[in-house]
Structure formats: structure tokens, C-alpha cells
Amino acid sequence: MCLAIPGRIKSIEAPRTGHMRMGRVEMGGIVKEINLQLVPEAQENDYVLVHVGVAISVVDEAEAARALEFLQQMNELDELYNSPEEGAKPTEETTRQADAIINRMMS
């Protein structure tokens, strides 16, 4: 399943000619270098949704917390922590919550 992981921008690198806008983003206690090119409005301490190393959207703190909680319930943060759990399957309730979150994010 491909989902975006919420994170808080800790720092943004000074832009250099010919380079992408990059920043350090904390996601679930892990800090990674993330491409911020698609979210030019993002500032330090903003929350963003990150997919495959690219911030794709700026969200508020409450939405980031809801998304993180949902991902934890679905065991979807295992890849971030490099410790996949075998056999983890979503329940009907978490699937319903996922649909609601995705619908809110798409509207």
C-alpha cells in the first residue's frame, strides 16, 4: 500500500542554483532528508505529507496527528522503521477510517 507519512519540517536548506529545495523532516521520531520542491509554501515547523522522499502536501498539526495514528494502527510505519511485521492486516474499522482520511485529503 502506498501512503504518505506525516512529518514536521525541522529545517530547510538554503536554496542553491540548479538544486531542488530540500529539508530535514521528522516522521515518527526518524529524521530524513526530504525533497520540498512540490510544497514551496512550506516553512520550518510546518507539517507535510511525505511519499517516497518527497513532501506532497502541507497539512495542519491535527491532520498530521490523525494520519500518524491511522498509520500506526495499520502497521504502515514498519517500512520507516525497517522492521516489517508479517501478517498484519487492516480491520474493517481501520479500512473505514482510511477511506475517511483519504476522502478528506482529496477534497
Q: What domains appear along the chain, each with residue ranges and CATH number?
A: 5-106 (2.30.30.140)
Question: Which residue, 2, 70, 35, 74, is CA-closest to 48?
Answer: 35
Q: What is the mean pLDDT of residues 25-48?
A: 93
Q: How confident is the model at residue 102 (pLDDT cuts 50, 70, 90)?
A: low
pLDDT single digits (tens) 49-100: 999 899 999 999 999 988 888 877 777 555 555 444 444 555 566 556 666 6
Contacts of 24 (CB under 8 A, 6+ apart): 9, 10, 11, 31, 32, 33, 34
